[in-house]
Structure 1
């Protein structure tokens, strides 16, 4: 059973997504350390526009990028064609549902980063994801993912508009101010984020405001431990950031390094 939430608004403009998220690289060095230990293709689930897939391919690792959003994959392919040039074929891009993806091969290393784990909103979706990952991992293979920590500060935010960031839209040249409003559904452990982008007026562009919505599932550490164990994963490490700081009560995210039992 899939969630009834429509959860793709934030990804319907892939170029905008890259402007706001494409410069994030904190997880790449971490992923490369594990990539050095494995053979064969590495699978990036919910790969989006290839933010992590492409740098690993540039480092010489054969990659498979899987995402359910065709527009994000099209953006990823366009970027790879430019950045990889003669090695463009080192990535296989597939449009599939990560809760039930099917490949004719297995891998020593599967990851999903960018807090993509939070997009699997129901128990059934989480089970489908973890079952599919386990099915495609070789024995002893690695599974790495991160998710925001369900701290009180994160979940119990006031339901008022909060400033997030500003940047310049490279397409229009307009400055953009971004605000968010969050509402937490404790019964379902789902945070609803409303993102408001206000485009400032310029000589060639009028002022504009765009609103998108996204829903994110939060999982508590003990709940996650039992969930992973039920799908035959051993949690080898759990960090509070990509610099391998031990997970603590004030950590903003949880990074799980798992092996298939």
Structure 2
């Protein structure tokens, strides 16, 4: 299972989330405390990588998806900023460098669906961090509302795409044994008369990790959790949180 359907159209990906940058101030703060090349894992089209480079940071973006990397290269070239783009599997990194700061955003941690995949990611990160290096990532909080979403089509949001209005809805099914949520995203393109002229469906599966499970997982891979937040604004975590942001130190 390559789990790439949601990313096979980089143009659509950017239309929907390129301008969404809640992580940027938080990452800039941590990047300002480090010297050396920062690594953005699962960088996609460079949504966060390029803005950091524009602020003067040395950044390398790593992804396994050719289309997303190609789009990222085009964007950084157009912006006139230098970014190192590399195609590698985040579960088996082989870089000729170590970094003081590695991060992955967009809840990318949830794309690693098995215990072996999570182990591969965290081992790769640890190997490529400098001593006392920092690893930052976020993941959706596995709360009741998040996991027990309706299995029928549910409206999510609407946005404009040129002349069309796009209504987005989702269908989800949570597999409790595997801790995986299976999503189908449905985009209905409507003309000026409200008639549906096109429909696109994509599928994605996301692994959920409970907080105590994550604590044990990170500790076993040589990380100390130094900060936990409910969002990129450093809000404290509660049972009503939608996500958890982890700041970890290599020990």
TM norm structure 1: 0.93
RMSD after superposition: 1.3
Alignment partner of 1:230 is 2:220: yes
- State the SS of the aligned residue for 2:214: helix
Alignment partner of 1:150 is 2:142: yes
State the match for 1:200 in structure 2: 190
Cα distance in 2 for partners of 1:255, 1:12 equals: 27
Aligned match for 1:107, one of 87, 99, 103 = 99
- Structure 1 residues 137 and 31: alpha-carbon distance in aligned structure 2, compared to 1, 3 A threshold: same
Paired residues in the alignment total 250
Alignment partner of 1:66 is 2:62: yes
Residue-by-residue CA offset, 1:211-242 (whole Å, 9 max, x unaligned): 11000000000000000000010000110011
Alignment partner of 1:247 is 2:242: no
- After TM superposition, list the pairs within 5 Å mapping 1:44-123 onto structure 2: 44-83=40-79, 85=80, 88=81, 90-123=82-115
State the match for 1:180 in structure 2: 170
- State the SS of the aligned residue for 2:90: coil
Cα distance in 1 for partners of 2:64, 2:103 equals: 16
**How far did 1:202 drift?**
5.4
**How far did 1:168 drift?**
1.5
Alignment partner of 1:38 is 2:34: yes
**How far did 1:247 drift?**
1.1
Question: Residue 104 of structure 2 contacts residue 138 of structure 2 at CA under 8 Å; is this kept in 1?
Answer: yes
Structure 1: 5+ residue stretches without partners: none
Cα distance in 1 for partners of 2:161, 2:75 equals: 18
- After TM superposition, list the pairs within 5 Å mapping 1:7-46 onto structure 2: 7-46=3-42
State the match for 1:124 in structure 2: 116
Cα distance in 2 for partners of 1:182, 1:240 equals: 23
Alignment partner of 1:160 is 2:152: yes
